[in-house]
Structure 1
Amino acid sequence: MTDYLTVNRANWDERAPMHAKSEDYGVERFVADPAHLSDVVRFDRSRLGDLSGVRGVHLQCHIGTDTLSLSRLGARMSGLDFSAASLAEARELATRTGTAIEYHEAPVYDALDVFGAESFDLVYTGVGALCWLPDIARWGRIVAGLLRPGGRLFLREAHPMLMTLDETADPAWPRYPYFEHAEPLVFDETETYVETDARLSNGVTHSWNHGLAEIITALLDNGLTLTAFTEYDSAPWCALPGQMVRGNDSEWRMRDEPRRLAASYTLDARKIA
């Protein structure tokens, strides 16, 4: 198999400045308004609860808008990403907003080498992260290793049901695997998911889907216990162009009968003390 990290890193290094300039990520709103939060974190504000003084790490943090939002809720945050260009944007945003966030460049599977075991009260992972990892069981071991006893994982992700759908078909239909698969899904696309006229020259990506049971089992097998799980008929981006509409909550749902599709979920788990 081609080195997926090299392929995907080239793609995300190119996406990062596009995303930082886009209205979708709203970097300038963070600079202008010290209380501004990302749409993803704002959606989960009530579920996240009080983060005052919590030591947290955001895995696969990209350009750091969610990381900064968690910091604004009181957490002492670090961020990890494998894309140097993404981290450059994240560090610039932290500097411009006067926020103390430590950012580290490494793949997720190297997180324990970077931070050490039992370093955090909170591990946070946002939308669109797990599909870039080939082995969800290994991810579960990393999450458990990073958490202190009693520590918490908070995950909001695209639903694996959504990830099976062919977005180029109308109506969309299940084309891709629901369960984890050995060989990656290989795509070559010149567009990213934000509004921009720029086009990608490094458009090839390697990705994997993971079923809900596989994700949950990866956590249970490594000493975490599930404390909350909720599925939603919405996602924070237009996953099926032409078939979804944006609501007043900034979430995207199917234009017709949205409750027929599970589009995202949140998962809360604790490491057994």
Structure 2
Amino acid sequence: MDDSFALNKANWNERAALHAASPDYQIQLFIASPAHLSEVVRFDLPRLGDIRGLRGVHLQCHIGTDTLSLARLGAQMSGLDFSSASLEQAHKLASACGEHITFVEASVYDAAKVLGTQSFDLVYTGIGALNWLPQINDWARNVAALLKPGGRLFLREAHPVLMTLDEDCQHALQITQPYFEHSEPMVWDDENTYVVTDTTLKATITHEWNHGLGEIITALLHYGMRLTALEEHTSLPWEALPGQMSLGEDGEWRLDNQPERLPLSYTLQAVKVG
């Protein structure tokens, strides 16, 4: 597991500056417009509700665009990530936008230890995060530990069924990867990241894991969380299946052919009992 984290951290440290410079992350728009929110957060505005005054933490916050968006909605935000380069960009963005956000460098598995137990009203995790974690149980344990009694987890993530599909197959939905959590990672070797950039990566090897919906929910229940909402979506914020999807005006990608065949992402909410 340590080797996997080291490989992934090197990869994300390289991605950070490229993502901050890419128009896809809209950094200049954030700076120019105090009301601007990330497309990921805007998608879930009807589900988030009023978060003004809540103390929140964004786990696996990357360069902080979603974290900043939640702060602009009135939450007192912190962000946690294992990539020092990502947090450097997050600090720059928050400072340029005049927002006071605390960013902490640590693994999600150490989140409760470094941030304090029962410290938050809201734990937020954005899309494209859980697949970098080998064990969902340790994630759920930290989520529950971070929350005050009655505090809420808000999670939007790529659907685990989507994660089983061969993204290189452009004529069909073909399952090639595990649905359930597996000790051995899915190993990828890719010199490119997912934003518009002319630069290739040197740290090309990454390790990922899938986690079934049942595994995620069961882990949360085990640590004293109560599921309050689960909504599956026919869209997600990136072209996960090239050649089979189209981009909508809302910044979300959807299948061109019979989109009801496949859940692409989901939003899950749970409350800490106590």
Which TM-score bucket, shorter chain as reference? Answer: over 0.9
Shift of 1:172: 3.7
Structure 1 residue runs of 5 or longer lacking an equivalent are: none
Question: Structure 2 length normalisation: TM-score?
Answer: 0.98
Shift of 1:8: 0.3
Equivalent position of 2:188 in the other structure? 187
Shift of 1:88: 0.4
Tell me how far apart the structure 2 counterparts of residues 158 and 235 of structure 1 sit (CA, whole Å): 7
Tell me how far apart the structure 1 counterparts of residues 229 and 88 of structure 2 sit (CA, whole Å): 34
Equivalent position of 1:221 in the other structure? 222
Equivalent position of 1:261 in the other structure? 262
- Partner SS state of residue 210, structure 2: coil
Shift of 1:117: 0.6
Shift of 1:119: 0.5
Equivalent position of 1:86 in the other structure? 86
Equivalent position of 2:239 in the other structure? 238
- Partner SS state of residue 263, structure 2: coil
Shift of 1:258: 1.3
Equivalent position of 2:136 in the other structure? 136
Tell me how far apart the structure 2 counterparts of residues 142 and 249 of structure 1 sit (CA, whole Å): 32
Shift of 1:195: 1.6
Equivalent position of 2:32 in the other structure? 32
The residue type equivalent to 1:165 in the other structure is: L
Percent of pairs with identical residues:
62
Tell me how far apart the structure 2 counterparts of residues 86 and 222 of structure 1 sit (CA, whole Å): 30
Tell me how far apart the structure 1 counterparts of residues 167 and 30 of structure 2 sit (CA, whole Å): 31
Matches within 5 A, 1:95-106: 95-106=95-106
Question: Structure 1 length normalisation: TM-score?
Answer: 0.98
1:124 aligns with 2:134: no
Shift of 1:224: 0.5
- Encode CA deviations 1:80-123: one digit per residue, 9 max, x unaligned: 00000000000000000000000000010011111111000000
The residue type equivalent to 2:46 in the other structure is: S
Most deviating of 199-208 and 168-177: 168-177
1:165 aligns with 2:165: yes
Tell me how far apart the structure 2 counterparts of residues 234 and 268 of structure 1 sit (CA, whole Å): 18
Structure 2 residue runs of 5 or longer lacking an equivalent are: none
Shift of 1:2: 6.2
Equivalent position of 1:111 in the other structure? 111
Matched residue pairs, number? 273
Tell me how far apart the structure 1 counterparts of residues 195 and 255 of structure 2 sit (CA, whole Å): 19
Shift of 1:242: 1.7
- Encode CA deviations 1:177-228: one digit per residue, 9 max, x unaligned: 0000011111000111112221111110011000000000110111010111
Most deviating of 191-200 and 99-108: 191-200
The residue type equivalent to 1:214 in the other structure is: E
Tell me how far apart the structure 1 counterparts of residues 257 and 28 of structure 2 sit (CA, whole Å): 34
- Encode CA deviations 1:36-79: one digit per residue, 9 max, x unaligned: 00000000001000011000000000000000000000000000
The residue type equivalent to 1:114 in the other structure is: V
The residue type equivalent to 2:160 in the other structure is: P
Matches within 5 A, 1:54-93: 54-93=54-93
Tell me how far apart the structure 1 counterparts of residues 115 and 63 of structure 2 sit (CA, whole Å): 20
Tell me how far apart the structure 2 counterparts of residues 59 and 7 of structure 1 sit (CA, whole Å): 19
- Encode CA deviations 1:224-257: one digit per residue, 9 max, x unaligned: 1011110001001111112111011110011211
Tell me how far apart the structure 1 counterparts of residues 7 and 273 of structure 2 sit (CA, whole Å): 37
The residue type equivalent to 1:33 in the other structure is: S
- Partner SS state of residue 23, structure 2: coil
Tell me how far apart the structure 1 counterparts of residues 94 and 253 of structure 2 sit (CA, whole Å): 28
Tell me how far apart the structure 2 counterparts of residues 77 and 242 of structure 1 sit (CA, whole Å): 38
- Partner SS state of residue 181, structure 1: coil
The residue type equivalent to 1:7 in the other structure is: L
Equivalent position of 2:19 in the other structure? 19
- Partner SS state of residue 250, structure 2: coil
Tell me how far apart the structure 2 counterparts of residues 47 and 218 of structure 1 sit (CA, whole Å): 22
The residue type equivalent to 1:197 in the other structure is: D
